């Protein structure tokens, strides 16, 4: 085999309601996740033994902390396959940005090795393996639009919300998921998840955008006011709605006017070079 190439897609959270902290240390959530076309590219090459990780991005870990390594290691452990692999990560998704950049690379590795090693594992089996790697990995395996419950591993596929214009802006602040969870102030007020699901089913992007919410957003804006500034710029310049994705620091906005989206991109490029025009998948 010369090379095996797979795209590794990011995600945004259209809603993220954090219900409570569980006894196992994880948090019980209710979230709506959406795949987007901002993506990394992973190139797989078989080698005699071991795992080699290379990347065009200097901050991508090359050791056991990378979910690519953990995915390879977990599949070897489960299946007994002892083949080596070299993985080249062409990184486009910002790191520690709330877009599942690391999780999607781990998920893509599971999907790729399932093919390369002729394992014939089902999506359900891969999702079960992915749950042990990280909370976002199961969704990154499934993709599309989904309600995520539990720690993010209990997935219910929703009607597709594909082909919607979305602007992403990352201020270059890296926020670890653990740090963001540590800042949460729990509330009895719940996010209208059912209302958001209804707006997806009705293909009403305006209502969806108005209902979007994230339990992590307010505390993270308190820590990093630039997140709030980016959100305000999007809304003031034609976004139907804007929200911080996941644990941040990326903010995304939905647009029904491409010209307004491109104009907003130009304004945001004065703040950061990490501004991406994207679409939902």
Domains of the chain, first to last: 4-157 (3.30.230.10), 165-279 (3.30.70.890)
Please say if the pLDDT value at position 188 is more than 90: no
| Token pair of 186 as six digits | 């729990």
Asked whether the beta carbons of 42 and 88 are under 8 A apart, the reply is yes
- Render pLDDT for 83-122 as a digit per residue (tens, 0 to 9): 999 999 999 999 999 999 999 999 999 999 999 999 999 9
Asked whether the beta carbons of 213 and 229 are under 8 A apart, the reply is no
Asked whether the beta carbons of 276 and 38 are under 8 A apart, the reply is yes
Binned at pLDDT 50, 70 and 90, residue 177 comes out as confident
With 0-12 / 13-18 / 19 or more C-beta atoms within 10 angstroms meaning exposed / middle / buried, residue 189 is exposed
Give φ, ψ of 175 to 5 degrees.
-120, 120
> Would you give the DSSP letter of residue 230?
H
Query: How open is the CA angle 51-66-69, to the nearest 5 degrees?
Result: 30
Encode burial over 71-97: b for 16+ CB neighbours within 10 A, e otherwise.
Answer: bbebbbeeeeeebebebbbbbebbebb
Binned at pLDDT 50, 70 and 90, residue 1 comes out as low
pLDDT of residue 154: 92
Report the share of the chain in percent with pLDDT over 90.
89
Q: What is the mean pLDDT of residues 170-186?
A: 90
With 0-12 / 13-18 / 19 or more C-beta atoms within 10 angstroms meaning exposed / middle / buried, residue 120 is exposed
Q: How many helices (H) and strands (E) does the chain have?
A: 10, 11
Encode burial over 154-167: b for 16+ CB neighbours within 10 A, e otherwise.
Answer: ebeebeebeebbbb
Q: What is the pTM of this model?
A: 0.94
Binned at pLDDT 50, 70 and 90, residue 185 comes out as confident
pLDDT of residue 257: 96
pLDDT of residue 151: 87
Please say if the pLDDT value at position 186 is more than 90: no
The C-alpha atoms of residue 186 and residue 39 are separated, in whole angstroms, by: 33
Please say if the pLDDT value at position 50 is more than 90: yes
Please say if the pLDDT value at position 208 is more than 70: yes
| Token pair of 220 as six digits | 């993270």
Task: Put the strands of the sheet holding 165-169 in their side by side order.
Answer: 241-244, 251-255, 165-169, 275-279
pLDDT of residue 175: 92
How does the average pLDDT of the chain come out, rounded? 95
Asked whether the beta carbons of 86 and 116 are under 8 A apart, the reply is no
Task: Catalogue the active-site residues.
Answer: 11, 136
- Render pLDDT for 21-31 as a digit per residue (tens, 0 to 9): 889 888 899 99
Encode burial over 25-61: b for 16+ CB neighbours within 10 A, e otherwise.
Answer: eebebbbbbbbbbbbbebebeeeeeebebebeeeebe
Q: Which of the listed ranges 41-45, 150-154, 177-181 does the model predict with the highest average pLDDT?
A: 41-45
């Amino acid at each position: 085999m010369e090379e095996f190439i797979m795209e590794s897609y990011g995600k945004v959270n259209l809603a993220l309601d954090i219900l409570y902290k569980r006894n196992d240390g994880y948090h019980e959530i209710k979230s709506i996740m959406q795949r987007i076309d901002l993506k990394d590219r992973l190139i797989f090459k078989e080698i005699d033994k071991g795992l080699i990780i290379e990347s065009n991005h200097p901050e991508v870990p090359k050791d056991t902390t990378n979910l690519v390594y953990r995915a390879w290691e977990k599949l070897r452990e489960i299946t007994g396959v002892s083949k080596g692999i070299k993985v080249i990560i062409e990184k486009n998704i910002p790191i520690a940005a709330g877009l599942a950049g690391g999780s999607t690379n781990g998920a893509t590795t599971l999907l790729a090795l399932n093919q390369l090693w002729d394992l014939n594992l089902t999506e359900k089996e891969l999702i079960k393996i992915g749950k042990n790697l990280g909370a976002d990995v199961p969704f990154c395996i499934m993709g599309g639009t989904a309600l995520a419950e539990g720690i993010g591993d209990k997935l219910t596929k929703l009607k597709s919300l594909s082909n919607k214009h979305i602007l992403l802006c990352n201020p270059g602040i890296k926020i670890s998921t653990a740090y963001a969870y540590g800042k949460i102030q729990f509330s009895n007020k719940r996010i209208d998840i059912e209302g958001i699901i209804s707006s997806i089913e009705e293909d009403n992007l305006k209502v969806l955008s108005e209902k979007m919410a994230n339990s992590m957003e307010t505390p993270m804006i308190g820590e990093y006011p630039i997140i709030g500034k980016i959100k305000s710029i999007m809304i003031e310049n034609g976004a139907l709605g804007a929200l911080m994705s996941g644990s941040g620091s990326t903010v995304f906005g939905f647009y029904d006017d491409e010209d307004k989206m491109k104009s907003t991109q130009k304004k945001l490029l004065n703040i950061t070079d990490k501004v991406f025009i994207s679409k939902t998948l």
